[in-house]
Amino acid sequence: MKKKDYLRMIEGRSLALQAKYKPNALLKFSNYMVREVEAEYLEISDVLEDICDAYEKLGYMFYAKRKLDELKPKIPYFALVTQYHLINFIFHCKAFIDSISNAIYHAYDLDIKIKANIDITRPRFNKKLTKKRGAEDILRLSGFIGESESRAGLSLNSGVW
């Protein structure tokens, strides 16, 4: 798949991109992954689908944030509507990180048996990744995800849900 075809494909799946939002870090990450797939350094498997999913989740985050920004305190059920959009934003933040992790997992064919460990914020995931060619670039480009502590509160077991 050529880069222009890929970009056309993701644009239709992301509310953020349709609104002309330019997520520079994600664009660098996905462009790198597409170049590696085109050069046949990476297996295509599900990589592009995972990246498209990440853009889709980013669009949902973008939409939820925009809805939160537009809310007026005097609307009926203000607290419930705020909670609804905030929960959507948090849910899609977690789903976004999962999509990025899955793209890396599929691209580098990481040998991870337990699905819950397919997570870029987990040390085991990064340990497996560092053994692969190009890992330094991926870790640098995916650094926008942040430290694992920033995601700890998003766990389904943490009581947030």
Q: Residue 140 and residue 129: Cα distance in Å, rounded?
A: 12
Mean pLDDT, residues 31-43: 70
pLDDT at 68: 92
Q: Residue 136 and residue 61: Cα distance in Å, rounded?
A: 28
Supply angle C-alpha 119, 123, 124, rounded to 5. 75
- Cβ count near 142 (within 10 Å): 24
Cα–Cα nearest to 15, from 51, 52, 62:
62
Query: pLDDT digits over 107-127, tens only?
Result: 877 888 777 778 877 888 878
Rounded percentage of the chain residues whose pLDDT exceeds 90: 14
In this structure, is the dihedral angle defined by the CA atoms of residues 72, 73, 75 and 79, taken in order, positive or negative? Answer: positive
Question: Is 158 domain-assigned?
Answer: no
Question: Is 77 domain-assigned?
Answer: yes
Question: Is 63 domain-assigned?
Answer: yes
Question: Is 48 domain-assigned?
Answer: yes
Question: Is 159 domain-assigned?
Answer: no
DSSP conformation class of 76: T
Mean pLDDT, residues 139-150: 55
The number of distinct structural domains making up the chain is 1
Q: Residue 36 and residue 134: Cα distance in Å, rounded?
A: 9
User: Domain range holding 87?
Assistant: 3-152
pLDDT band at residue 85 under the 50/70/90 scheme: very high
Question: Is 21 domain-assigned?
Answer: yes
Q: Residue 53 and residue 99: Cα distance in Å, rounded?
A: 6
Question: Is 148 domain-assigned?
Answer: yes
